[in-house]
Structure 1
Amino acid sequence: MSDRQKLPLSLMYEPDTYLCSWFLPDNTGGHVDIPGDLVLRPLRPPTGQVYGTVPLQHTQHVPGVVETAFPQSISVPVLHGRLANGGSVTLLDAHIQLWDKSGHITGAAALLGNAAFFGLADVPEAPTAAIPPRVTSATFQITALDAALGVPPIKDVSNPHLPGGEEGRWAATVNASASGTWSAEGAELTVSYYHRMRAMDPCEFSLAFSPVATVTLTEAKPLEIALDQYIEPLRKILSIATGKPQDLSYLHVELEGREGKYQVVGTGITQAPFASSTAAFRAHNSAVRALPDKLSLLDLVTQWSQYAAAHHPLVETYGAMLHTRDQHPRSRYLLLVQALEGLYGYENKGTTEQRQAKHTASYEDALARAKKDLDAEIFKFVKKHLSKKPSVSLDIALNALMTGLPVNIMDRLDATELVKEVQAASTTAALTTPGALRVVRNDLAHGNRGYEPHQLQVVVRLLEFIVRGHALRILGCPEAVISRVFPTE
């Protein structure tokens, strides 16, 4: 038995190629059963093939002369199939490209069901139904989920080598409190542990746990809505909490009007469920520890979703870069500064509007006076080049956000090679650290000059602490949680 099979959380279908029959739409409103295969790969959308007499469209321009063009394309919201083992596959947003006696199939996601009783697949009575199934609940796993829960699955252990241990006796006490359930309007979220125990084997005794989250919806939703509103936001929050991109490793759903659970295969799902380990738990070093901190993970998820729907600048900008690996420090620097600048503007919108109103009044008054006192050509020049908006200092925004968290790391930024170099080259006598970072941003954004990647990387690391801290702040995390984002060195 492989290590994967021994995990408490396991896949119904491993990434592989599976023989199946596809129910392809014909040209009469019905369907035809065509043999083929289904290809499942980690992090990739599902694909497939069909072989045999496929339903083709033919054109007859004159009597007795029939033309057939290739390839022929068909797009359907849902495509059903039956796996050779008796299971079912429902392909969402399917695109079919047909040739003579063959075809290629792609889909946005596949929903895979186990074989029903007596070897009959759980395929709907109308395999050509055009309405995608709706999700009533989703069970999923994200790396670092156990660290974000904040409580390990085993409360204590005893063995003969520990003080007080009984000779020949090894024991573990499961932590009954290692589970959290939170409710909000429209959904309930539970994070707990699945376990696997090998206790009846006279040669081996073991206990393993996999962290799992389940979101149960009051009203069934399309898969993409459940992903966008609950699963992906939690993944982003865990990435912020740990400072590392986290993966969606497992996703099974329950569907409205259909029995059983369905494995989801599609882009962004690694299909690699895992078991908790002390090493990984510590390595993740999550700032969010939901149970000890008495934090509702569902509240954090809901708040993130609301910000995303409102196009909050930090959520939109930083959220888009959270899962990007090996990004050049130049790009990351620009996006982090953009996220901070957007956040400052968002939170100071009222003050900005007041300044704009004052500036507009002054602008109109200045133009009125200039029109009286200047000749036409000069007035035209002044009107063209006089700004309709008040000047905005990035220095002020950066300074406010860098010093507005429980931990102030301005001194670490002051000491960086990049800041010192920009300050030394500046003609401004007292260029502050925020001012130096503004100069770097402008140079990079406008192509004035470049900077050494290793210099940028040091500053990027520090800026990311600040952005992560503010991300947790706007989600409502207390200062103790925000402080954990920052390293102690």
Structure 2
Amino acid sequence: MYEPDTYLCSWFLPDNTGGYVDIPGDLQLRPLRPPTGQVYGTVPLQYTEHLPGVVETSFPQSMSVPVLYGRLANGGSVTLLDAHFQLWVAGGYITGSAALLGKAAFFGLAGVPAAPTSVVPPRVTSATFQITALDAALGVPPIKDVSNPHLPGGEEGRWAATVNGSAARTWLAEGAELTVSYYHRMRAMDPCEFNLAFSPVATVALTEAKPLAIVLDQYIQPLRKILSIATGKPQDLSYLHVELEGREGKYQVVGTGITQAPFASSTAAFRAHKSVVRALPDELSLLDLVTQWAQYAAAHHPLVETYGAMLHTRDQHPRSRYLLLIQALEGLYGYENKASSEQRQAKHTASYEEALAKAKNELDAKTFKFVKKHLSKKPSTSLDTALDALITGLPVNIIDRLGATELIKEVKAVSTTTGLTTAGALRVVRNDLAHGNRGYEPHHLQVVVGLLEFIVRGHALRILGCPEAVVGRVFPTD
């Protein structure tokens, strides 16, 4: 509805008496950035009156409000969430976490509230959004078949396309439903051109209205992360509009992380994404995957929390990426083997206390103090065991490919440990990098990072409930 640009508007600023004053200004909308704005002219200021006619004030004057309303010069509306403004003698600056933009009321859509007195942020009843690779993850193109006069059986002078009626699906879960389908646009009235285009979209409809931040955290960002895992590439949230409780129309959302660049599907992009998740052919519920991811994130699952935080970083040194991937795998192993670890700890604690009791009777005080200080209260653990189990515990085992990399061969060659395994070499590299013992060639690290990423992606899809066939697609066949 609104392209990134600067729009003239009027802001309804608090006037320090419980009311609002209409101040001219502007609203600046930028891709991937939070909205900003300015106010011009006389603004309501706070001051302290010491004596009649004698006042004191300071600049800049800052104020924050949960929601700030404005009216665009074109008749539309803006609702600025988490607004903060700084005022000077004349004018000031405004920032917010997100802007909700409505069309003018005379278009039959959303206008500015008649009385912008509510300080409670609006709640979302549904959100329609687009993420790159959404069509690839759906797994079905929007056109079923085409015919033209040059193909066998084609009707002379007739070009035709049949829309794929199966290229849409709605999934239900407690509290929400998710629909993924295609919007279409047809240019058919032009006597010189005929065009049919489709755009993939997802809509989350809620049974109970929620704040925008919750909708983003529980539904939109999890789906974006899942698509990034499915394709092995960072995916963008390209567009988002919402419907609000108690207000008519649709509101475009502008804020951090939204590119404001909606796209049409293309065969080239569909193939280039190489999504291993193909929801319709695989009979996978994208809503189930989203819900499971959100639950893991709320529980601080170590793989979801660690790997999820690095999914959208495009420029990261292989050193830091290596450490984070190993951390994600180590955390996953500990999470999934928590019960057995607790049993080992209980047995070790009993042995520890028994050993100390015997040592106290047999050793002198000084020796016993030394033993008590240095005897570990925890059983020994091995990162080698965790890595080996996770690397070999997927439908495709790439332990030999890891062992054939220059990095692993180099570590094994200089190691003083007899028979160092590939998992052990990975541990040595992790310890060297984490403790600053030594560094490694970035391009050698990058090769191993690429293989480790396959493993982490595979386990991420596994814990989300994807079948082995989907997990196995993560690994290249060459």
TM-score of the superposed pair, with normalisation by structure 1: 0.96
The reply on whether 1:41 has 2:30 as its aligned counterpart is yes
Question: Which SS does the other structure have where 2:199 is aligned?
Answer: strand
| Matching residue's letter, 1:21 | S
| Matching residue's letter, 1:401 | L
* Aligned positions of 1:99-118 closer than 5 A: 99-117=88-106
Alignment match, 1:181:
170
Alignment match, 1:132:
121
The reply on whether 1:366 has 2:365 as its aligned counterpart is no
CA offsets 1:226-280 (integer angstroms, 9 cap, x no match): 0000000000000000000000000000000000000000000000000000000
Classify 1:423/1:83 alpha carbon distance in 2 versus 1 (closer, same or farther; 3 Å): same
Q: Which consecutive unaligned segments of at least 5 residues does structure 2 have?
A: none
| Matching residue's letter, 1:432 | T
Question: Which SS does the other structure have where 1:57 is aligned?
Answer: coil
Aligned equivalents of 2:107, 2:381: Cα separation in 1: 71
Alignment match, 1:8:
none
The reply on whether 1:292 has 2:281 as its aligned counterpart is yes
Alignment match, 1:9:
none
Aligned equivalents of 1:486, 1:480: Cα separation in 2: 11
Alignment match, 2:364:
375
Aligned equivalents of 1:258, 1:62: Cα separation in 2: 47
The answer to whether the 8 Å contact 1:23/1:128 transfers is no
* Aligned positions of 1:18-417 closer than 5 A: 18-117=7-106, 122-417=111-406
| Matching residue's letter, 1:52 | G
The answer to whether the 8 Å contact 1:26/1:32 transfers is yes
Classify 1:212/1:119 alpha carbon distance in 2 versus 1 (closer, same or farther; 3 Å): closer
CA offsets 1:149-175 (integer angstroms, 9 cap, x no match): 000000011122322223322111110
Aligned equivalents of 2:132, 2:241: Cα separation in 1: 16
The answer to whether the 8 Å contact 1:86/1:121 transfers is no
Aligned equivalents of 1:372, 1:116: Cα separation in 2: 88
CA offsets 1:461-488 (integer angstroms, 9 cap, x no match): 0000000000000011011111111101
Alignment match, 1:5:
none
Question: Which SS does the other structure have where 1:436 is aligned?
Answer: helix
Which of 4, 11, 16 aligns to 2:5? It is 16
CA offsets 1:310-357 (integer angstroms, 9 cap, x no match): 111111110010001111100110010111111111111111000000
| Matching residue's letter, 2:426 | L
Aligned equivalents of 1:371, 1:161: Cα separation in 2: 95
Aligned equivalents of 2:60, 2:106: Cα separation in 1: 39
The alpha-carbon deviation at position 43 of structure 1 amounts to: 0.3
Aligned equivalents of 2:360, 2:442: Cα separation in 1: 51
Aligned equivalents of 2:461, 2:246: Cα separation in 1: 38
The alpha-carbon deviation at position 290 of structure 1 amounts to: 0.2
| Matching residue's letter, 1:152 | P
The answer to whether the 8 Å contact 2:63/2:86 transfers is yes
The alpha-carbon deviation at position 363 of structure 1 amounts to: 1.1
The answer to whether the 8 Å contact 2:109/2:249 transfers is no
The answer to whether the 8 Å contact 2:127/2:204 transfers is yes
The alpha-carbon deviation at position 91 of structure 1 amounts to: 0.2
The alpha-carbon deviation at position 442 of structure 1 amounts to: 0.6
Classify 1:121/1:225 alpha carbon distance in 2 versus 1 (closer, same or farther; 3 Å): closer
Question: Which SS does the other structure have where 1:270 is aligned?
Answer: coil
Of 443-452 and 381-390, more deviation after overlay is shown by 381-390
Alignment match, 2:413:
424
Classify 1:369/1:120 alpha carbon distance in 2 versus 1 (closer, same or farther; 3 Å): closer
The alpha-carbon deviation at position 383 of structure 1 amounts to: 1.7
Aligned equivalents of 1:283, 1:161: Cα separation in 2: 28
Aligned equivalents of 2:316, 2:150: Cα separation in 1: 48
Aligned equivalents of 1:29, 1:406: Cα separation in 2: 64
Classify 1:121/1:430 alpha carbon distance in 2 versus 1 (closer, same or farther; 3 Å): closer
Classify 1:353/1:120 alpha carbon distance in 2 versus 1 (closer, same or farther; 3 Å): closer
Classify 1:349/1:119 alpha carbon distance in 2 versus 1 (closer, same or farther; 3 Å): closer
Aligned equivalents of 1:126, 1:442: Cα separation in 2: 61
CA offsets 1:348-370 (integer angstroms, 9 cap, x no match): 11110000001111111122222
The reply on whether 1:488 has 2:477 as its aligned counterpart is yes
Identity of aligned residues (%): 87
The answer to whether the 8 Å contact 1:152/1:175 transfers is yes
The alpha-carbon deviation at position 118 of structure 1 amounts to: 7.9
Of 284-293 and 158-167, more deviation after overlay is shown by 158-167
The answer to whether the 8 Å contact 1:402/1:408 transfers is yes
The alpha-carbon deviation at position 429 of structure 1 amounts to: 1.3
Question: Which SS does the other structure have where 1:274 is aligned?
Answer: coil
Aligned equivalents of 1:482, 1:121: Cα separation in 2: 44
Of 373-382 and 281-290, more deviation after overlay is shown by 373-382
Q: Which consecutive unaligned segments of at least 5 residues does structure 1 have?
A: 1-11
Matched residue count: 478
The alpha-carbon deviation at position 121 of structure 1 amounts to: 7.0
The alpha-carbon deviation at position 120 of structure 1 amounts to: 10
Question: Which SS does the other structure have where 1:193 is aligned?
Answer: strand
Alignment match, 2:448:
459
Aligned equivalents of 1:119, 1:34: Cα separation in 2: 26
The reply on whether 1:448 has 2:437 as its aligned counterpart is yes
The answer to whether the 8 Å contact 1:25/1:128 transfers is no
Aligned equivalents of 1:483, 1:121: Cα separation in 2: 47
Of 77-86 and 168-177, more deviation after overlay is shown by 168-177
| Misfit runs of 4+, over 6 Å | 118-121
| Matching residue's letter, 1:290 | A
The alpha-carbon deviation at position 101 of structure 1 amounts to: 1.1
Question: Which SS does the other structure have where 2:42 is aligned?
Answer: coil
